[in-house]
Structure 1
Amino acid sequence: MDRLLADGTVNAAQSGEGPLLFLFHSLLSDRASFDAVVPELRTRFRTIVPELPGFGRSHAVEGGLAAVADRMAEAVRDAAAGAPAIVLGNGYGGFVALQMAIRHPEIASRLILADSGAAFSEPGREAFRNMAKASREKGLEAITDIAMRRLFAPGFQAQHPDLMQDRHAAFLRTDPEVFRAACEALASLDLRSQLGAVRVPVLVMVGEHDEATPPPMSHELAAGLPRAELKIIAGCAHVPQLQSPRQFLDALKGFLL
């Protein structure tokens, strides 16, 4: 069931009953990236999977990642009626969730940050600047192969052509202006000095072969958070919930499930 949150500005799918669990999708994907894990999660949680601002039917916001985080905090408060919620973010969604928890300390009871971080290395920043530049000059089609490589290793792509066709199509539905704004925000982001403000328990997860947000970023993130544990998901890349849903769910055991 779809519902509108934050005064109708955030479109989200809701299913299940129980404690509230939000799932924030990545920049190079969409909310469908959680379809394989929602059926199990909704047996224990009221699971809400929003389209982040500027994606799908959710309204875009201006003001960088902070504005996106504020809009999503509004959506969480709306759904939770002011109570704290569990928030899981993958990739870009993880950066949004982290920024939200820093800016709104009461918003989350616990966080799961999958394939995310607090800051990119200079090569990582340059990759975002290059993707923004190429998409502006040539369109999203010109960087689709790069985007897919950041999501999945070549071997996985070759073995799952139907999934890759679906993910190509999902990426090309992204609003180019929203994509470029997100790339520019991530290229300049550095939340490392603010990690101490996150006082809730955090599970940091990362795919062993993630090229978009490499494992050292998750090691640094977990080390900087006061109450964090780190799990490496073997054989996976940037979207483990798509690549290996069972491993992703198993990684949540002991923390969430």
Structure 2
Amino acid sequence: MDRLLAGGTVNAAESGKGPPLFLFHSLLSDRASFDAIVPELSTSFRVIVPELPGFGRSQPTGGGLAGVADRMAEAVRDAAGGKEAIVLGNGYGGFVALQMAIRHPGIATRYVLADCGAAFSEAGREAFRNMAAASKAKGLSAITDVAMRRLFAPEFQAAHPDLMADRRAAFLRTDPEVFCAACDALASLDLRPDLGKVTVPVLVVVGQHDEATPPPMSRELAALLPQARFEIIPGCAHVPQLQSPRLFLDVIGDFLPATNSATA
């Protein structure tokens, strides 16, 4: 079931019953990247999977990553309805979730930050600048191969042609202006000075072979957060919940609170 949040500006899918659990998707993908894990999560949680601002039927917003985080905070408040919320973000969605945690203390009781960090290396910043420049000059199709390599290792791509065709099509549906604005925001991002403000428990996970946000980024993030645990997901790249959903669920399972969805 889809519903509109944040004054009708954010479109989200909702399923299940229990405490609200929000899933924020990555920049190079869409909310369908969570399809493999939603059925199991929705047996214990009310799972809300929004399209981030500018994606799908959600309206874009200005103000850089802070503006996106503020819009998503409004959406979380709307959907949570006063209940304690959990937020899981992957990639760009993880950066949005982290910025939201900094700017809106108390909006969630715990976070899972998958394949993100607090700041990119200079090489990482340059990669975003290059992707934005190439997409502006030639369109998203010019960087589709680069985008897919940042999501999945070549061996995985070769072994899963149907999934890759679906992921390429999803990427090409991205609004180019929204994509470039996100690249610009990530290229200049440095949240390290504000990480002390995030005082709730955080699970930081990263795919072993993630080239987009390499494991050292996530390790640094976990080390700087007051209450963080760090896990590497073996054999995976930037979207472990899609590449190896069972393993991803196992890794996050004991961090998520035990629930009784019948009474929640």
TM-score (norm 1): 0.99
The one-letter amino acid of 1:180's match is C
Secondary structure in structure 1 of the residue aligned to 2:231: strand
Where structure 2 has 5 or more consecutive residues not aligned to the other structure, the ranges are 258-264
CA distance in 2, matches of 1:223, 1:136: 36
Alpha-carbon shift at residue 130 of structure 1 (Å)? 0.2
CA distance in 1, matches of 2:253, 2:34: 17
Contact 2:20-2:83 within 8 A present in 1 as well: no
Q: Give 1:223's aligned residue.
A: 223
Q: Give 1:175's aligned residue.
A: 175
CA distance in 2, matches of 1:225, 1:106: 15
Alpha-carbon shift at residue 122 of structure 1 (Å)? 0.2
The one-letter amino acid of 1:84's match is E
CA distance in 2, matches of 1:239, 1:44: 22
Contact 1:83-1:107 within 8 A present in 2 as well: no
- State the structure with bigger RCO (CA 8 A, min sep 6), 1 or 2: 2
Secondary structure in structure 1 of the residue aligned to 2:58: coil
Alpha-carbon shift at residue 234 of structure 1 (Å)? 0.1
* Aligned length, in residue pairs: 257
Deviations 1:206-229 (A, max 9, x none): 000000000000000000000000
Question: Identity rate of aligned residues, in percent?
Answer: 80
Is 1:166–2:155 an aligned residue pair?
A: no
Q: Give 2:77's aligned residue.
A: 77
Deviations 1:141-194 (A, max 9, x none): 000000000000000000000000000000000000000000000000000010
Alpha-carbon shift at residue 81 of structure 1 (Å)? 1.9
Secondary structure in structure 1 of the residue aligned to 2:3: strand
Secondary structure in structure 2 of the residue aligned to 1:60: coil
Contact 1:84-1:106 within 8 A present in 2 as well: no
Q: Give 1:129's aligned residue.
A: 129
Contact 1:29-1:170 within 8 A present in 2 as well: yes
Q: Give 1:23's aligned residue.
A: 23
The one-letter amino acid of 1:87's match is V
Alpha-carbon shift at residue 58 of structure 1 (Å)? 0.1
Alpha-carbon shift at residue 254 of structure 1 (Å)? 1.4
After superposition, residues 197-212 of structure 1 pair within 5 angstroms as 197-212=197-212
Contact 1:207-1:232 within 8 A present in 2 as well: yes
CA distance in 1, matches of 2:17, 2:108: 18
Contact 2:17-2:46 within 8 A present in 1 as well: yes
Deviations 1:38-90 (A, max 9, x none): 00000000000000000000000011000000000000000112343100000
CA distance in 1, matches of 2:128, 2:113: 20
Is 1:114–2:119 an aligned residue pair?
A: no
Q: Give 2:141's aligned residue.
A: 141
Where structure 1 has 5 or more consecutive residues not aligned to the other structure, the ranges are none
Secondary structure in structure 2 of the residue aligned to 1:203: strand
Structural RMSD (CA) = 0.6
TM-score (norm 2): 0.97
